[in-house]
Chains A and B, each alone.
Chain A
Amino acid sequence: MQNNTRTHTVCRIRVGTSGYSYPEWITAGFYPPGTPARKMLAAYARRFPVTELNYTWYQMPKEPAMERLAERAPAGFTFTAKLTRSLTHEIDPGSWRRQAELYRHGISPLLQAKRLLAVLIQLPPSFGRTAANRRYLASLLDALEALPLAVEFRHRCWAVDRVFRELEKRHITLVTVDTPPLEYLFPTLDVVTNPDLFYVRFHGRNLTGWKSGNIQQQFDYLYSDQQLRDWVRGPLTRMAAGSRRGVVFFNNHVRGQAPRNAAMLAELLEAG
């Protein structure tokens, strides 16, 4: 495995991509031609030490599947996993507690195998800072207390010190995002709320694509070398100074741009 775990001062930063199983990454040249999906993780793990599991957002993780994943991943390889949509985007007030329980149970093999760095709670832009949503989020964080958590807000109304203080108190990571410059989106902040882990997600800056609602356009973006250098010199350095560990993911998966940018960033961190 190529070492993409970078020690930045005293902080170990792992760089990877959001998801790894994209057939179009074969045509993009990241995977060798003819790579079947079942062999993609092994091929991916030769380049990166961590990945973010996206499909756990679409379906509740199942214990046997997570066990198989933990067994299949090479030694030292780690995961973060998105929280299921029924707890973030399609919340049913009557059943979410049961869903949280199912999630805890389903993801447990990765946790037990010490391969789970964080569970990503990605909240939609429509999830505003209302009293009801604040209450729900507090209850959700309580329900998932046993898991290492990271919260990604999409709406800027959550960018207030009180929220950060509460996350800090609970030892929960606030996710730092790089997104297109849209007024309502959560801003890029280098606030560290959990010294054990900082978490950065690069979504790309495709403004038109973001508004299109088409996932292929939304995440169609390639960061330039200069943009990544600015990140290394700026927010990443500051966050690394206050953390023991960090993970950085590229979500601009279209046409294999995510692994390309992840490799570029890893190189910059290595050099810096």
Chain B
Amino acid sequence: MERAIVHLNVADFAVAVERVVDRRLAGRPVIVAPPAAARAPVYDMSDEAYRAGVRKRMPLARALRLCPEACLRPPRPELYQRAMDDLLRRALDFSPLVEPGPADGHLFVDLTGTSRLLGPPVDAAWKLRRRARNELGLDPIWTLATNKLVAKVASRLVKPAGEYIVAAGDEEAFLAPLPLHLLPGLKAGDLERLARLNLTRAGQVAGLTADQLRVAVGSRADLIAAAAKGLDAEPVLPAGRHTEKVSAGHVFAGDTNCPGKIKAALLEMVQEAGHRLRSGKLAAGGLTLVVAHSDGVRCIRRKRCRPESANDFDLFELACQVLELAWTRRVRVRSLHLVCWKLRPLSVTLPLFAAERRQVLRRRNLVAALDRIRSRFGSRAVCFGRTPAKAS
């Protein structure tokens, strides 16, 4: 059966939520960023601020120079998460297969096979958007296609507002005239290599044979060819089973070179990511760390985690190893971003040998106890000595 996938996307989600809370922000340029630190990066901005040149992760001082009339709001991730949960609850009335993004206003909803109950998917999609607008005050872009990739491209095309229905069978024709950078999954290197051959549109790439494309992009040829033709078999993962990545980030109020501060921030991120992994009964198969420096240079390093783990102690040991690889410059560090990938269901199997088993059990029990305390008394109720209050 052909699939019917809806992509719901609230553009500039943080700003959209702030505008629901404070109606005075409607129509005015808005920047969401920590106001106390001039060098703190922009978390999100409205379309008006974007048009003035403001971009995400841009230092706030520069953003305010570009858009001095902007209203500044501090980031409130908990509020955005609540709004996301509300959106998710409404989407779940339409299908059990809803895949939310990480509090960013993105949702995929699989409406395949629901038409006898809900009517044509296009009508259900429109009703979902209407509920988001009427009940939450959010006005998401909504697109409908036979797969996630095409639905996502359609969203990018109509952003910041609107809708797009890509009829089944129209995928390749729809993508053909579009620039390649709109296709999800293509990296900067791919685009560069293809551009050198004057290949800038999806249709040009879709017209190449596998061998021709392999000459340009090597082993990524199959993936890129499929994307250019609008082929994507990736399922919509039910809410709570979004297993692609778990990530955490930290922005230093002032750029720093202090190992203590950096490790404390890393530990805090590990705890946050570890908690989310365990909540989803998942374990990470690897870690990636992005170290962003004051001069804008970013160092990215990754390492496999063997065996997969969701334990804060294991993850922190590995994160420190990755930090050593990534933090090699003397330039001060502005922010860290930790990504857990290759997520697998959390295994309960213990090591065969007694000594090793004892240590694993001890760590597991300790982390379980910490989770219990935090779930009862809040995430700040108990913390490691390295993170006495909050790494600053």
Which chain A residues have a beta carbon within 8 Å of chain B's beta carbons?
A: 19, 21-24, 36-39, 54-55, 58-60, 64-65, 68, 85, 214-216
Given known contacts A22-B115, A24-B116, A36-B2, is B165 in contact with A58 (CB within 8 Å)? yes
A72–B164 alpha-carbon span in the complex (Å): 20
Q: Which secondary structure characterizes the binding site on chain B? A: mixed
Collect the chain A residues with CB atoms within 8 Å of residue B162's CB.
Answer: 59-60
Collect the chain B residues with CB atoms within 8 Å of residue A59's CB.
Answer: 162-165
- Contacting residues of chain B (168-196) with chain A, CB-CB under 8 angstroms: 168-170, 173-174, 177
| Per-position binary interface string of chain B over residues 272-309, scored 1 when its CB falls under 8 Å from any chain A CB and 0 otherwise | 00000000000000000000000000000000000000
Contact A37 B123, beta carbon cutoff 8 Å? no
Which chain B residues have a beta carbon within 8 Å of chain A's beta carbons?
A: 1-2, 115-120, 122-123, 125-126, 146, 162-165, 167-170, 173-174, 177
Min CB distance, A99 to chain B, in Å?
Answer: 11
Most chain B C-beta atoms within 10 Å of own C-beta, residue among A36, A54, A58, A68: A58
Looking at the complex, which one of B2, B115, B126, B163 makes contact with A24 (CB distance below 8 Å)? B115
Q: Closest A residue to B176 by CB, please name it.
A: A64
Contact B165 A38, beta carbon cutoff 8 Å? no
A85–B163 alpha-carbon span in the complex (Å): 12
Given known contacts A37-B169, A59-B163, is B177 in contact with A216 (CB within 8 Å)? no
Collect the chain A residues with CB atoms within 8 Å of residue B1's CB.
Answer: 23
Collect the chain B residues with CB atoms within 8 Å of residue A60's CB.
Answer: 162
Contact A215 B167, beta carbon cutoff 8 Å? no
Q: Closest B residue to A27 by CB, please name it.
A: B116
Min CB distance, A210 to chain B, in Å?
Answer: 14
Contact A58 B167, beta carbon cutoff 8 Å? no
A60–B161 alpha-carbon span in the complex (Å): 13
Min CB distance, B155 to chain A, in Å?
Answer: 13
Contact A22 B120, beta carbon cutoff 8 Å? yes
Given known contacts A55-B122, A68-B173, is B167 in contact with A23 (CB within 8 Å)? no
Collect the chain A residues with CB atoms within 8 Å of residue B122's CB.
Answer: 54-55, 58
Q: Closest B residue to A255 by CB, please name it.
A: B116
A23–B168 alpha-carbon span in the complex (Å): 11
Q: Which 9 A-B pairs have the closest CB atoms?
A: A38-B169, A37-B168, A215-B119, A59-B163, A58-B122, A59-B165, A216-B119, A38-B168, A58-B126
Collect the chain A residues with CB atoms within 8 Å of residue B2's CB.
Answer: 23, 36-37
Given known contacts A36-B169, A37-B168, is B116 in contact with A58 (CB within 8 Å)? no
Contact B170 A216, beta carbon cutoff 8 Å? no
A64–B167 alpha-carbon span in the complex (Å): 12
Collect the chain A residues with CB atoms within 8 Å of residue B168's CB.
Answer: 21, 36-38
Q: Closest A residue to B173 by CB, please name it.
A: A68
Given known contacts A23-B2, A64-B177, is B123 in contact with A215 (CB within 8 Å)? yes
Min CB distance, A265 to chain B, in Å?
Answer: 23
Most chain B C-beta atoms within 10 Å of own C-beta, residue among A19, A21, A23, A36: A23
Contact B165 A55, beta carbon cutoff 8 Å? yes
Min CB distance, B381 to chain A, in Å?
Answer: 47
Min CB distance, A81 to chain B, in Å?
Answer: 14
A17–B348 alpha-carbon span in the complex (Å): 57
A36–B167 alpha-carbon span in the complex (Å): 11
Collect the chain A residues with CB atoms within 8 Å of residue B118's CB.
Answer: 215-216
A39–B88 alpha-carbon span in the complex (Å): 34
Collect the chain B residues with CB atoms within 8 Å of residue A24's CB.
Answer: 115-116
Looking at the complex, which one of A36, A38, A39, A58 makes contact with B123 (CB distance below 8 Å)? A58
Looking at the complex, which one of A22, A37, A85, A214 makes contact with B167 (CB distance below 8 Å)? A37
Q: Closest A residue to B120 by CB, please name it.
A: A22
Q: Closest B residue to A38 by CB, please name it.
A: B169
Collect the chain B residues with CB atoms within 8 Å of residue A55's CB.
Answer: 122, 165, 167
Contact B119 A214, beta carbon cutoff 8 Å? yes
